[in-house]
Amino acid sequence: MSKQKAGTTQIIKRKRVSFSFESADAGEVFLMGDFNNWNPKTHPMKREGNGIWDQSLMIPPGKYEYKFMVDGCWMEDPCNDQRCPNCFGTYNSVIDLAGK
């Protein structure tokens, strides 16, 4: 991806980020956040076996809020202690991809 800026081209490098969620009982898991406009259809997670669900994305540098939708229920990322309050009175997980 590139951006035009006053006659120059600035290259914005995306970073590969892997998300995982553990639930042996889940029937479906979706990854939703700022990076996909909270759309459940954009990043359904893949069941890898042993109750592990995975999804890898290429995301531009920035700070993003996200959650998992597990069988219709919102879940924070239990492997990430970075979080922030949301407008629903609960918390979103946060990932900060520093730009270079």
Quote the distance between the C-alpha of residue 11 and its chain's center: 22
Superfamily of domain 2-97: Immunoglobulins (2.60.40.10)
Tell me: the pLDDT tens digits for 18-49?
A: 999 999 999 999 999 999 999 999 999 999 98
Tell me: the pLDDT tens digits for 37-89?
A: 999 999 999 999 889 999 999 999 999 999 999 999 999 999 999 999 999 99
Torsion of CA 47, 49, 54, 56, to 10 degrees: -100
Contact predicate 33/39, CB 8 Å:
no
Question: Domain ranges in the chain?
Answer: 2-97
Stated pTM of the model: 0.84
Q: Round the CA-based radius of gyration of the chain to a whole number and report it.
A: 15
Tokens of 51: 């109750």
